Structure 1
Amino acid sequence: MSTLYIRLPSKAAADSLGPGMPLYCQYAFASNGGAVEREGVAALSELAEPVGKAQQVVLLLAASDVTLLRVKVPPLPPAKLRAALPNLVEDDLMSDPAECVVVAGDTLHDLRTVGVVQRSWLELLARTLHALGARRVSALPSQLCLPFAGDGVSAAVTEQGEDIEVAARLAEQDGIGLAIMADQPESAAFDVIQSLTALVPQAVLTLYVPQSRLRDYQDSLHLVPAQEERIKLAPDSWTQWIGGAADVSLDLMSGLAGAAGPQFNWRPWRWPLALAAALLAINALGLNIEWLRLKREAEALRAGMIQTYRSTFPKDQVIVDPLAQMRQKMTTAQRESGQIAPDDFLALAAAVGDVMRGVAPGASPIAALEYHDRSLTVKLKPGSSVPVEPVRNALAARNLSISQPDTGVWQIRSAR
Structure 2
Amino acid sequence: MASTLYIQLPPRTVADKLGGWGEQSFSYCLASAEKNILQQGRHAFANLQSLVHQADQTVLLVSASDVNFLQVAVPPMPFAKLKAAIPNLLEEQLLTESADLLFVPSPPVKGQCYVAVVTRSWIEQIFGFGVQLGATKVSAFALSDSLSQHAEIATILIESVPAESQIFEISVRSADQIASGLSIDVPNAAIDQSHTVQQIIAAINILAPQEALQIYVEPSLETALRQVFIAPNDGSRQVQLASLDWKSKIGGVSNRSIDLLAFLSSDGKQSFDWLKWRWSVSMIVFMVMVSLFALNWKWWSLQREANTIRDSIQATYQSAFPKEPASRDPLFQMQQKINAAKKVAGQSSSDDFLVLSAQFAMAWDQLNPAQPASTVTSVEYRERSLFVTPKSMADVRVEQLRPLLKERNLKLEVKDGSLKVFSDVGGM
- Give, in angstroms, the shift of residue 9 of structure 1: 0.9
- Contact kept, 8 Å, 2:182 with 2:203, in 1: the verdict is no
Which of 193, 206, 223 is the matching residue for 2:197? Answer: 193
Matched, 1:270 2:316: no
Q: Deviation per CA, 1:86-137, whole angstroms, max 9, x where unpaired?
A: 1233454454423432133588999754311234554565684796343xx6
Aligned position for 2:105 = 104
Length-normalised TM-score, structure 2: 0.63
- 1:158 and 1:373 map into 2 onto residues whose CA distance is 106
Q: Which amino acid aligns with 1:26?
A: Y
Length-normalised TM-score, structure 1: 0.64
- Give, in angstroms, the shift of residue 83 of structure 1: 1.7
Q: Which amino acid aligns with 2:328?
A: L
- Give, in angstroms, the shift of residue 351 of structure 1: 4.5
- Contact kept, 8 Å, 1:365 with 1:380, in 2: the verdict is no
- Contact kept, 8 Å, 1:28 with 1:238, in 2: the verdict is no
Distance 1:337 1:106, change over 3 A: closer
- 1:82 and 1:101 map into 2 onto residues whose CA distance is 10
Unaligned residue ranges in structure 1 (runs of 5+): none
- Give, in angstroms, the shift of residue 174 of structure 1: 3.9
Instruction: Report sequence identity in percent.
Output: 24
- Contact kept, 8 Å, 1:67 with 1:117, in 2: the verdict is yes
Q: Deviation per CA, 1:353-379, whole angstroms, max 9, x where unpaired?
A: 689999x99x99695356688655779
- Give, in angstroms, the shift of residue 218 of structure 1: 4.4
Matched, 1:167 2:177: no
Which of 312, 327, 339 is the matching residue for 2:332? Answer: 327
Distance 1:346 1:125, change over 3 A: farther
Distance 1:236 1:400, change over 3 A: same
- 1:161 and 1:265 map into 2 onto residues whose CA distance is 36
Matched, 1:132 2:135: yes
Aligned position for 1:400 = 409
Distance 1:226 1:247, change over 3 A: same
Aligned position for 1:414 = 424
Aligned position for 1:234 = 242
Aligned position for 1:4 = 4
Q: Deviation per CA, 1:259-279, whole angstroms, max 9, x where unpaired?
A: 9xx966555432122012122
Q: Which amino acid aligns with 2:156?
A: S
Distance 1:91 1:313, change over 3 A: farther
- Contact kept, 8 Å, 1:11 with 1:121, in 2: the verdict is no
- Contact kept, 8 Å, 1:48 with 1:132, in 2: the verdict is yes
SS in 2 for 1:323: coil
- 2:40 and 2:221 map into 1 onto residues whose CA distance is 22
Aligned counterparts, 1:174-185, within 5 A = 174-180=178-184, 183=187
SS in 2 for 1:276: helix
Unaligned residue ranges in structure 2 (runs of 5+): 234-238
- Give aligned pairs, total: 385
- Give, in angstroms, the shift of residue 60 of structure 1: 3.5
SS in 1 for 2:75: coil
- Contact kept, 8 Å, 1:402 with 1:411, in 2: the verdict is yes
CA RMSD for the aligned pairs? 5.6
SS in 1 for 2:105: strand
- 1:411 and 1:107 map into 2 onto residues whose CA distance is 77
- 1:249 and 1:6 map into 2 onto residues whose CA distance is 15
SS in 1 for 2:351: coil
Aligned counterparts, 1:254-403, within 5 A = 254-256=262-264, 265-292=273-300, 295=303, 322-324=327-329, 327-328=332-333, 331=336, 339=344, 342-352=350-360, 367-368=375-376, 369=379, 376=386, 400-401=409-410
SS in 1 for 2:252: helix
Aligned counterparts, 1:42-81, within 5 A = 44-49=48-53, 51-52=55-56, 59-71=60-72, 73-77=73-77, 78-81=79-82
Q: Which amino acid aligns with 2:171?
A: A
Distance 1:7 1:341, change over 3 A: same
- Give, in angstroms, the shift of residue 66 of structure 1: 0.8
- Give, in angstroms, the shift of residue 143 of structure 1: 1.6
- 2:318 and 2:109 map into 1 onto residues whose CA distance is 97
Distance 1:123 1:392, change over 3 A: same
Q: Deviation per CA, 1:152-195, whole angstroms, max 9, x where unpaired?
A: 67233154565856133274344433445564895697785354
Distance 1:133 1:367, change over 3 A: same
Distance 1:314 1:159, change over 3 A: farther
- 1:8 and 1:374 map into 2 onto residues whose CA distance is 94
SS in 2 for 1:244: coil
Q: Deviation per CA, 1:219-238, whole angstroms, max 9, x where unpaired?
A: 7669x979975786521133
- 1:139 and 1:287 map into 2 onto residues whose CA distance is 50
- 2:278 and 2:231 map into 1 onto residues whose CA distance is 58
Distance 1:88 1:309, change over 3 A: same
Aligned position for 1:89 = 90
- Contact kept, 8 Å, 1:331 with 1:341, in 2: the verdict is no
